[in-house]
Amino acid sequence: MSFQELKSKTREILTNSVSSKDEKLLAICQLLNTNIVHYNWVGFYFANHQTQTLHLGAYVGAETDHTVIPFGKGICGQVAVSNANFVVPDVSAQDNYIACSITVKSEIVVPIFAEGINIGQIDIDSHTINAFTIEDEQFIEYVCKEISHLF
């Protein structure tokens, strides 16, 4: 399925008036994981600004022990502080990487903003080195912008 088709499916999921916010987020994870071969783990982390931690929300893929991540720790924690996308072509080259699985080779994390505040992020892992293109990054930015309307 093309990114354009996935954008349309994303809009369908997010405008479904019957589903809860959590059901919509899980459906987005399933949509991306199922339709993009190099997306092997797709999940959301949401910020608690008081405790300076990220908390795992909906996800699809292998179970993770990383349900709470301090701001600044790992790729996700760095995005919570920088407010910028982080594309990691090879996780083994990162000093501040939290290893979730030996099968993860590359990662992309894109923040979600609501009313100008970084409220969380989508985190996608791949079992392929250098898996994420500029097209992936632009598509995930689109998904995050659409998701921001839920908050």
| Residue 68 pLDDT level (bands cut at 50, 70, 90) | very high
CATH number of the domain bearing residue 91 = 3.30.450.40
- The angle subtended at Cα 72 by Cα 147 and Cα 23, nearest 5°, is 25
- Evaluate whether 52 touches 59 at the Cβ level (below 8 Å): no
Lowest mean pLDDT among 97-101, 122-126, 129-133, 136-140: 97-101
Q: What is the rounded distance in angstroms from the CA atom of residue 63 to the CA atom of residue 53?
A: 19
Count how many domains the chain has: 1
For the segment 13-28, the average pLDDT, to the nearest whole number, is: 96
The pLDDT value given to residue 104: 85
For the segment 51-71, the average pLDDT, to the nearest whole number, is: 95
The pLDDT value given to residue 102: 72
Is the pLDDT assigned to residue 70 strictly greater than 80?
yes
Spell out the residues 6+ positions from residue 90 whose beta carbon is closer than 8 angstroms to its own: 105, 106, 129, 130
What tokens were used for 79? 């995005």
The letter for the amino acid at 72 is G
HEC secondary structure over the chain: CCHHHHHHHHHHHHCCCCCCHHHHHHHHHHHHHHHCCCCCEEEEEEEECCCCEEEEEEEECCCCCCCEEECCCHHHHHHHHHCCCEEECCHHHCCCCCCCCCCCCEEEEEEEEECCEEEEEEEEEECCCCCCCHHHHHHHHHHHHHHHHHC
What tokens were used for 112? 């979600």
| Residue 125 pLDDT level (bands cut at 50, 70, 90) | very high
| Residue 93 pLDDT level (bands cut at 50, 70, 90) | confident
Task: Provide the whole-model pTM.
Answer: 0.94
The pLDDT value given to residue 101: 65
What range defines the domain where residue 59 resides? 3-150
Is the pLDDT assigned to residue 77 strictly greater than 70?
yes
